[in-house]
Copies of this chain bind each other. A is one copy, B any other.
């Protein structure tokens, strides 16, 4: 197969190709001029022939989803801090750091773009959502194993995850200090009050 892009002349391992393609997706989404994210644009940027992209991923949506899953896993090393509050704060601090980088904001855009459209099959959407929430579910499971009583996933979604997404969408910066703690305090504070009610 003829490769047109110069970068493709260098022989790369499948994992190097995969990493280059993921990076091309993130780069295209980080650009000021907002170049359209298309298979040909990703081929051009990564130096991987577009027929190879279709063969490997099948569609732009699948490629986007693979990029998101891989990056979210790479960016979320979840050490056990010993408490639910500590784990959630560590998650929020990592998210806050990520949001200060163009790559982090591009990743949020990728997550949003990779969601199945709202009228699609509910099962598919739920699976997609749960894959994205994997690290939060780990935190909840560890808390339960410790005998703590973590808030429901949907409450964590509304109070801890949603603020990061909405600020990425609207390009609103995070408060310089204390934001991760503030969100966790609101989340667990509310959880405590509801438990007592």
Contact = CB atoms under 8 A, between A and B. Distances in A.
A129 to B, nearest CB: 5
A120 B172 contact: no
Interface residues of A, number: 44
Contacts of A189: 190, 193
Nearest to A111: B169
A183 interface: yes
A121 to B, nearest CB: 9
Interface string A50-89: 0000000000000000000000000000000000000000
B129 A170 contact: yes
Interface of A: 30-34, 102, 105-106, 109, 111-112, 115-120, 122, 125-126, 128-129, 132, 154, 157-159, 161-163, 165-172, 175, 183, 186, 189-190, 193
